[in-house]
Amino acid sequence: MKKLSINHYSLFILLSLAFTACQPKETTSFQYNVDKFYDLEILRYDVPEFDSLSLQQKQLIYCLSEAALWGRDILFDQNGRYNLRIRRTLEALYLYQTSKQGEAQTSNKVEDPNFDALERYLKRVWFSNGIHHHYSEDKFLPEFSQEWFVAACEKAGVTYDPAILPVMFDPAVMPKRTTAQDGVDLVLNSAGNYYGEGVTQAEAEAWYAAHKDNSPEPLWIGLNSKLVKNENGEIEEQVYKVGGLYGEALEHIVYWLREALKYAENDAQKLAIEKMIAFNETGDLKTFNEYCIAWVKDLDSRVDYVNGFTETYSDPLGITGTWESMVNFKDLAATKRTETISKNAQWFEDHSTTDPKYKKEEVKGVSAKVITAAILAGDCYPATPIGINLPNANWIRKEYGSKSVTIDNLVHAYNEAAKGNGFNEEFMIDDETRALYEKYGAVCGDLHTDLHECVGHGSGKLMPGVTKDALKEHASTIEEARADLFGLYFLGDPKLVELGLLPSADAYKAGYYQQQMNGLMTQLVRIEPGKDIEEAHMRNRQLIANWVYEHATNKEVEIIERDGKHYLKVNDYEGLRRLYGELLAEIQRITSEGDYAAAKEMVEKYAVKVNPELHQEILARYKKLNLAPYKGFVNPVYTAVRNADGEITDVKIDFSEGYVEQHLRYSKDYSPLPDVN
Ligand code: ZN
């Protein structure tokens, strides 16, 4: 719940399905698709509005992005103690081989399958920031042999630590990055480098228990440290700080944070950066708490950032933070859109199809914050979250609040990159529907999300005596359905065109077709054969699509068969809107009355079960498209233009760098840590 992570497979597919666009690529100069290997696809994201930022904001972004890039080695080392040695050996060999290939190009170039395998393996190591798959956390093996590797290194004059050989080639050595297996020592059996060699789970837990802070404003003991065994076999804490563990990288980060201070937009932002610097210098956890509070209070700045030891999923005991960074700035266009919706919250409430007795007399919309990512680093790169919700400490969230944002330009890149991948050609019924979707699919997707978040959840009221948990295990499915239906119903309202949120009276049809197709058919690609639908958002989408399908007595929607394939056909969009309105009224009634029996029946009848034949067909059609399930990004390149005094007078942004070039450059220019830390 802390962070919307693209690492969560479900969320990722949710995105790719909710927004998958169609049709051959439009002629745009921006290249979203960069590279594809194994189950991974590399995309590029645009940074719209960068040119409209003030010079000071650009200077700030430049310094913060340098502070971001200098942390890359930290993550490699946290992910495994051999990772830096392996990466550097592979890169040295790769550079030697590419220069040889370059020479050979003029004469007789020989195709070498081992070189291709080396390149693929290295690309994968870069993607995972180590030798374990970024999502499954299983170790992946090279497609070249140890014999070839040893001989190639020798020929190239590349020296390496022989200890990396079993780590790379023996499937039994360090097979899992973070193990969650029952009954085994989680620390000893995890390849992650959050604990020194020989430290056991019991020893680590005993140390944490002895040092735990139980005060009302507790220090997060262990957030920024590694527990190791000293020569007497005692547990010792090595703190991540300047002069301590990872100090060589943190020095550079501190340098660039100091540079960033010069360009801070206001005092609140300045205070937060100062606290972050002090924390990196001292490792003092009280300072970290002060930083979190200062950061969460800084709401007015356009530019914002995450930089440091943040999420704790990769530590098998869930305590130590993994290093990450993301620099971003407020997306003013999108923020304006959500403000328009919030301002009209009362109009939406009054005009919804729900019974007047379930309406709120006075309703307030919330305006969602939407940001543009400017650089991704550490555990946010190349695979990245599409939202941020920080800080993690519950007492700070309660007392001082939190920041929750969605990252619009990354969502946009996923949409654009999906164009022409064949998905909509396979599943949408005809050219006309695809053309409509190409034109309006993205705007409908954004708007539906905004309506869902800004007014959908906040609408309606409970009858006296009814509590939020009355619908028990079905509460979240019903609640998501309610917010989705609110959004769907108003997506088709002329009011949105009037407010300037939709470009034409026809546009909503793209969103309606997509909802029905996804809910009835295409979201099934995420379900294994024979399984039910479990996840609340998926249940809610099928509930809506199925209910409407069953109640379409005038064939407003139907499923037709053509050449052995099934397609969704919408005959009457107005009628479809009426059905959404009817269902919204009923779901609101169930919620307001706390009618558990009706909720249970609704969910069990429409949301859970899957038609096995249709499911098989969809899976087979999807498999043929050969789409990469995981995506990651390359960053833009920022270049500072300096005057004779060394002052930054402008910052240029460039999008032309490729995946391999980017990683080789980062390894060359931003690699301060020794092989062994
Ligand atoms: Zn929701």
42 band by pLDDT with thresholds 50, 70 and 90: very high
Q: Please tell me the distance between residue 452's alpha carbon and the centre of ligand 1 in angstroms.
A: 6
Q: Please tell me the distance between residue 484's alpha carbon and the centre of ligand 1 in angstroms.
A: 7
Q: Please tell me the distance between residue 16's alpha carbon and the centre of ligand 1 in angstroms.
A: 17
Q: Please tell me the distance between residue 422's alpha carbon and the centre of ligand 1 in angstroms.
A: 29
Q: Please tell me the distance between residue 18's alpha carbon and the centre of ligand 1 in angstroms.
A: 14
Measured between alpha carbons, how far is 230 from 199 in angstroms, rounded to an integer? Answer: 10
110 band by pLDDT with thresholds 50, 70 and 90: low
Per-residue b or e along 58-92, where b marks 16 or more CB atoms closer than 10 Å to that residue's CB = bbbbbbbbbbbbbbbbbbbbbbbbbbbbbbbbbbb
Whether residue 413 is predicted with pLDDT greater than 50 in this model: the reply is yes
Measured between alpha carbons, how far is 128 from 135 in angstroms, rounded to an integer? Answer: 8
Q: Please tell me the distance between residue 460's alpha carbon and the centre of ligand 1 in angstroms.
A: 14
Task: Give the number of other CB atoms < 10 A from CB of residue 207.
Answer: 18
**8 Å CB contact between 265 and 298:** no
Measured between alpha carbons, how far is 356 from 350 in angstroms, rounded to an integer? Answer: 8
What pTM was computed for the model? 0.84
Q: Please tell me the distance between residue 453's alpha carbon and the centre of ligand 1 in angstroms.
A: 6
473-521 pLDDT, tens digit per residue, is 999 999 999 999 999 999 999 999 999 999 999 999 999 999 999 999 9
Q: Please tell me the distance between residue 447's alpha carbon and the centre of ligand 1 in angstroms.
A: 14
Boundaries of every domain in the chain: 15-48+331-632, 83-130+140-173
Q: Please tell me the distance between residue 480's alpha carbon and the centre of ligand 1 in angstroms.
A: 5
Q: Please give the pLDDT value at position 16.
A: 36
Q: Pick from 334, 237, 314, 561: which is nearest to 429 by CA?
A: 561
Q: Please tell me the distance between residue 41's alpha carbon and the centre of ligand 1 in angstroms.
A: 28
Q: Please tell me the distance between residue 56's alpha carbon and the centre of ligand 1 in angstroms.
A: 37
Q: Please tell me the distance between residue 516's alpha carbon and the centre of ligand 1 in angstroms.
A: 18
Q: Please tell me the distance between residue 486's alpha carbon and the centre of ligand 1 in angstroms.
A: 11
Where is 218: in which H helix or E strand? Answer: none
Where is 657: in which H helix or E strand? Answer: none
Q: Please tell me the distance between residue 536's alpha carbon and the centre of ligand 1 in angstroms.
A: 10
Q: Please give the pLDDT value at position 419.
A: 85
Q: Please give the pLDDT value at position 9.
A: 32
The residue that leads in pLDDT, 627 or 635, is 635
Q: Please tell me the distance between residue 482's alpha carbon and the centre of ligand 1 in angstroms.
A: 9
Q: Please tell me the distance between residue 363's alpha carbon and the centre of ligand 1 in angstroms.
A: 17
Q: Please tell me the distance between residue 543's alpha carbon and the centre of ligand 1 in angstroms.
A: 15
Beta strand pairing status for 235-239 and 322-330? unpaired
Q: Please tell me the distance between residue 478's alpha carbon and the centre of ligand 1 in angstroms.
A: 10
Q: What is the four-CA torsion angle of 313, 314, 315, 321, rounded to 10 degrees?
A: -70
Measured between alpha carbons, how far is 16 from 59 in angstroms, rounded to an integer? Answer: 34
Q: Please tell me the distance between residue 483's alpha carbon and the centre of ligand 1 in angstroms.
A: 6
420 band by pLDDT with thresholds 50, 70 and 90: confident
Q: Please tell me the distance between residue 389's alpha carbon and the centre of ligand 1 in angstroms.
A: 15
Q: Please tell me the distance between residue 393's alpha carbon and the centre of ligand 1 in angstroms.
A: 23
28 band by pLDDT with thresholds 50, 70 and 90: low
Q: Please give the pLDDT value at position 590.
A: 98
Whether residue 138 is predicted with pLDDT greater than 80 in this model: the reply is yes
Q: Please tell me the distance between residue 371's alpha carbon and the centre of ligand 1 in angstroms.
A: 19
Q: Please tell me the distance between residue 184's alpha carbon and the centre of ligand 1 in angstroms.
A: 37
Q: Please tell me the distance between residue 324's alpha carbon and the centre of ligand 1 in angstroms.
A: 27
Above pLDDT 90, what percent of the chain?
82
Q: Is the peptide bond before 503 cis (omega within 30 degrees of 0)?
A: no
Q: What share of the chain is helix, strand, coil (3-state, %, to 5)?
A: 50, 15, 35
Q: Please tell me the distance between residue 58's alpha carbon and the centre of ligand 1 in angstroms.
A: 34
Q: Please tell me the distance between residue 178's alpha carbon and the centre of ligand 1 in angstroms.
A: 30
Q: Please give the pLDDT value at position 385.
A: 83
Q: What is the DSSP string of 188-212?
A: TT--SSSB-TT--HHHHHHHHHHH-
Q: Please tell me the distance between residue 369's alpha carbon and the centre of ligand 1 in angstroms.
A: 15
Contacts of 356 (CB under 8 A, 6+ apart): none
Q: Please tell me the distance between residue 476's alpha carbon and the centre of ligand 1 in angstroms.
A: 9
| Mean pLDDT along residues 195-199 | 96
Q: Please tell me the distance between residue 455's alpha carbon and the centre of ligand 1 in angstroms.
A: 10
Q: Please tell me the distance between residue 537's alpha carbon and the centre of ligand 1 in angstroms.
A: 8
Q: Please tell me the distance between residue 457's alpha carbon and the centre of ligand 1 in angstroms.
A: 7
- Burial class of residue 653, CB neighbours in 10 A (0-12, 13-18, 19+): middle
349 band by pLDDT with thresholds 50, 70 and 90: very high
| Mean pLDDT along residues 551-567 | 97
Q: Please tell me the distance between residue 583's alpha carbon and the centre of ligand 1 in angstroms.
A: 17
| Mean pLDDT along residues 548-565 | 97
Whether residue 7 is predicted with pLDDT greater than 60 in this model: the reply is no
Q: Please tell me the distance between residue 323's alpha carbon and the centre of ligand 1 in angstroms.
A: 29
209-254 pLDDT, tens digit per residue, is 999 999 999 999 999 999 999 999 999 999 999 999 999 999 999 9
Q: Please tell me the distance between residue 520's alpha carbon and the centre of ligand 1 in angstroms.
A: 19
Owner of token pair 């994201």: 45
Q: Please tell me the distance between residue 402's alpha carbon and the centre of ligand 1 in angstroms.
A: 18
Report angle CA 469, 475, 478 to the nearest 5 degrees: 140
Q: Please tell me the distance between residue 442's alpha carbon and the centre of ligand 1 in angstroms.
A: 19
Q: Please tell me the distance between residue 580's alpha carbon and the centre of ligand 1 in angstroms.
A: 17
Q: Please tell me the distance between residue 338's alpha carbon and the centre of ligand 1 in angstroms.
A: 15
| Mean pLDDT along residues 618-640 | 95
Q: Which of 333-337, 379-383, 501-505 has the lowest mean pLDDT?
A: 333-337
Q: Please tell me the distance between residue 485's alpha carbon and the centre of ligand 1 in angstroms.
A: 11
Q: Please tell me the distance between residue 350's alpha carbon and the centre of ligand 1 in angstroms.
A: 21
Q: Please tell me the distance between residue 456's alpha carbon and the centre of ligand 1 in angstroms.
A: 8
Whether residue 157 is predicted with pLDDT greater than 50 in this model: the reply is yes
Task: Give the number of other CB atoms < 10 A from CB of residue 190.
Answer: 26
Mean pLDDT of the chain: 92
Q: Please give the pLDDT value at position 2.
A: 38
Between the alpha carbon of residue 48 and those of residues 136, 408, 637, the distances in Å are 33, 10, 14
Q: Please tell me the distance between residue 579's alpha carbon and the centre of ligand 1 in angstroms.
A: 21
Residue 79 CA to chain centroid, in angstroms? 19
Q: Please give the pLDDT value at position 263.
A: 98
Above pLDDT 70, what percent of the chain?
94
Q: Please tell me the distance between residue 481's alpha carbon and the centre of ligand 1 in angstroms.
A: 8
Q: Please tell me the distance between residue 335's alpha carbon and the centre of ligand 1 in angstroms.
A: 18
Contacts of 648 (CB under 8 A, 6+ apart): 59, 62, 640, 641, 642
104 band by pLDDT with thresholds 50, 70 and 90: low
